[in-house]
Structure 1
Amino acid sequence: MSEENQTNDQPVRRRGRPRQDIGAAALNEERPFVSSLARGLSILRAFRADDKVLGTQALAERTGLHKTTVSRLLGTLTKLGYLRYMPEYGKYAVSNQVLTLGYAAIGRFGFGELVRSHMDQMAAEGDCVVALSVRDGPDMMFVELVRRPTAVALNLNVGSRIPLAESAPGRAYLFAMGEEERAEAFALLAGIHGDAWAKEKRPALEAALSRMADNGYSDSFGEWVAGHNAVGVVLRAPMTGDIYTLSVGGNARNLPPEKLKSVHLPMLMRAAQEISALSASNF
């Protein structure tokens, strides 16, 4: 038999490890956890919407990392363009390159534009705040916001954070979580709230989740901030299934619970249904 026939008839042996599918590898829980990457991301997550600049000490306190580690990570993130060093302050600011990460997610399949059009329609009906939010640890963060001038006395903007347990967006998000993830969130909240968690916070939250199971929407009437009312629903992004919440809220004088439920809630529920349907068809 010729060498050529041997080559054609027998499988060719290749050196090295078998190639593993990248998607399967990403889902493999036994793959090593890259601590340096996690620490770098924790630096970026430590910046908040109202932070103009942050120094090494403040970032070390927020992340729990050693100052030497923080200093090294700041240097790397600055070289990559995600942070800017501000010599006049001797501190760091988040650069606009961070926006590329967020818009890559919310812009997928036109999801952001689709949601924004519905938010504009809802906000046009009265003095209210319409918000698209995602979870950030023990908080919810606004990633899109339509606000009317007289809606609230609070200083709310894109990037603002509100509490997970007491707010309508947070309660909707917790309701949409799987049991294991929700248990982890409860443990996080218990550590933050201490004794108040078992006595006040958890019972109120569980009652709110029970109402959402019955009614299909979350609510918070003066529980986050006195004089602020809101209702919220769950949205899921096409393809990934990522959880977002869509909420309407505002000053209780302009938006008592009865008005929220009779005027704004039907629009909110309809918007959520249409967004979900259109997102599914676009995918």
Structure 2
Amino acid sequence: MGRRSERLSKQGMLASDLAGEGDVIQVVSRAFDVLRCFEGHEARLGNLEISNRCGLPRSTVSRLTHTLTRMGQLVYLPRDQKYRIGPSAVAMSTSMMRGLQLRNLIRLRLQDVAEQLPGTVGFVIPDRFHLVYLEFARADNALGLHETIGSRIAMASTAAGHAYTAALDDDVGDALLIEMERETPEAAKLLRPRLEDNRRFLREHGYVVACGLWSPHINGLAVPLWSPQYQTFVVVTIGLLSAMYDEKRLHKEVAPRLLDLGAAVGSLLEGGDGELFNNRLERKALPVPNHHNKMIKTEDTNELEAGARRPRSARSVRARDGRR
């Protein structure tokens, strides 16, 4: 694998790439910044609103929205003098999601946990300084968080974000934090003082907690997993009302279930390219609990043997295969 591929494998998104440096064309990076402003198919934004959201000059935004409209990524609404997501962007995202059949299996695993705990259980993937819900589940009586597929949550103020940054190699995580300090300094102030403790706790226990950061009424717990499909860490996480689940109860009652969930989802991710996802979608029992205060990781096999998996020690992203 060439140097370029090795560099990208190290964390999936290099901090220098995020800043538009190196060999990443800045205009492409900025175009994606514009598209990220549209959270949901119904979002309607003008150039000034987009400029305020992504921190780009209005003149730059105007040129980008004009180009993206010609490409079909955006649609201009003359009556409102605003833009919305265009048919090309919708078609592209729909095509990509249709291929992710493992999401159906993951959703079933999340629902298993949601039926046991009155919170919102999610499967999220990183996007710059945020994470995006690819799947979620909640019980009918769940209170508190009400995220949906496509919802974005901040890394700095959520258990999922703290788990993700703690799982990265130290140098990669530090570089990401430096970029966060440049672009969103207030968010970085929440993360920096907790990063080392999160790394240590993750190595020892396999999960991370964050209590009252996003809201004083919400406590969260999250387990990071290496995804061969995305070549980065993804996270399974849960948010619960702090009045019902204090930190002690998170460790005692929630952590074992999230670690089991991590083992099950990790097995699905590892086998994501196998025949299982071409010809059947089954619902299997969660793996037998086997907690030894280790981080959940997956082995190099295409077989789905969740019951036989053992929790593995934490591995951060490395060049070539993203592991160590």
- Mean Cα displacement is larger for which, 100-109 or 234-243? 100-109
> Post-superposition shift, 1:169?
0.2
- Mean Cα displacement is larger for which, 180-189 or 214-223? 180-189
- Pairwise mapping of residues 46-125 of structure 1 onto structure 2 (< 5 A)? 46-49=37-40, 52-95=43-86, 97-102=88-93, 108=99, 110-125=101-116
Q: Is 1:249 the equivalent of 2:242?
A: no
What is aligned with 1:143?
Answer: 134
**Percent identity for Structure 1 against Structure 2:** 24
The Cα offsets for residues 224-280 of structure 1, whole Å up to 9 and x where unpaired, read as: 311211111112323442321100121122333344334332222122212222332
Larger Rg: 1
Separation in structure 2 between the aligned mates of residue 206 and residue 91 of structure 1, nearest angstrom: 44
Change (3 A) 1:157 1:235: same
Q: How many residues align structurally?
A: 259
What is aligned with 2:177?
Answer: 186
Give secondary structure in 2 for the equivalent of 1:27.
helix
Give secondary structure in 1 for the equivalent of 2:101.
helix
Q: Which amino acid aligns with 1:184?
A: A
Contact 2:120 2:146 in 1 (8 A): no
The Cα offsets for residues 14-46 of structure 1, whole Å up to 9 and x where unpaired, read as: xxxxxxxxx859639798432332222121122
- Mean Cα displacement is larger for which, 261-270 or 219-228? 261-270
Q: Which amino acid aligns with 1:27?
A: S
- Mean Cα displacement is larger for which, 123-132 or 250-259? 250-259
Report the aligned-residue RMSD.
3.1
Q: Is 1:269 the equivalent of 2:247?
A: no
Give secondary structure in 2 for the equivalent of 1:206.
helix
Contact 1:166 1:205 in 2 (8 A): no
Change (3 A) 1:32 1:85: same
Q: Is 1:34 the equivalent of 2:25?
A: yes
Change (3 A) 1:178 1:152: same
Q: Which amino acid aligns with 1:246?
A: V
Change (3 A) 1:98 1:244: farther
What is aligned with 1:130?
Answer: 121
The Cα offsets for residues 145-193 of structure 1, whole Å up to 9 and x where unpaired, read as: 2233553434533333333123110011102222332112211333433
Contact 1:151 1:251 in 2 (8 A): no
Change (3 A) 1:256 1:109: same
> Post-superposition shift, 1:133?
1.4
> Post-superposition shift, 1:75?
2.3
More helix by share: 1
Unaligned 5+ segments in structure 2 are 8-20, 274-324
The Cα offsets for residues 71-120 of structure 1, whole Å up to 9 and x where unpaired, read as: 23212222322222222311011246435555565655633122111111
Change (3 A) 1:282 1:154: closer
Give secondary structure in 1 for the equivalent of 2:240.
strand
Separation in structure 2 between the aligned mates of residue 247 and residue 46 of structure 1, nearest angstrom: 24
Contact 2:123 2:237 in 1 (8 A): yes
Contact 2:71 2:88 in 1 (8 A): no
Q: Is 1:177 the equivalent of 2:168?
A: yes
Normalised to the residue count of structure 2, the TM-score between the two structures is: 0.68
Change (3 A) 1:144 1:31: same
Contact 2:120 2:145 in 1 (8 A): no
- Mean Cα displacement is larger for which, 177-186 or 147-156? 147-156
Which structure would you say has the larger RCO, counting Cα contacts within 8 Å and 6 or more residues apart? 2
What is aligned with 1:161?
Answer: 152
Contact 1:228 1:251 in 2 (8 A): yes
Give secondary structure in 2 for the equivalent of 1:127.
coil
Change (3 A) 1:186 1:202: same
Separation in structure 1 between the aligned mates of residue 242 and residue 225 of structure 2, nearest angstrom: 25
The Cα offsets for residues 48-88 of structure 1, whole Å up to 9 and x where unpaired, read as: 35982111112223334333332232122223222222223
- Mean Cα displacement is larger for which, 120-129 or 32-41? 32-41
Q: Is 1:203 the equivalent of 2:193?
A: yes
What is aligned with 1:18?
Answer: none
Q: Which amino acid aligns with 1:248?
A: I
What is aligned with 2:16?
Answer: none
Q: Is 1:218 the equivalent of 2:208?
A: yes
Change (3 A) 1:224 1:67: closer
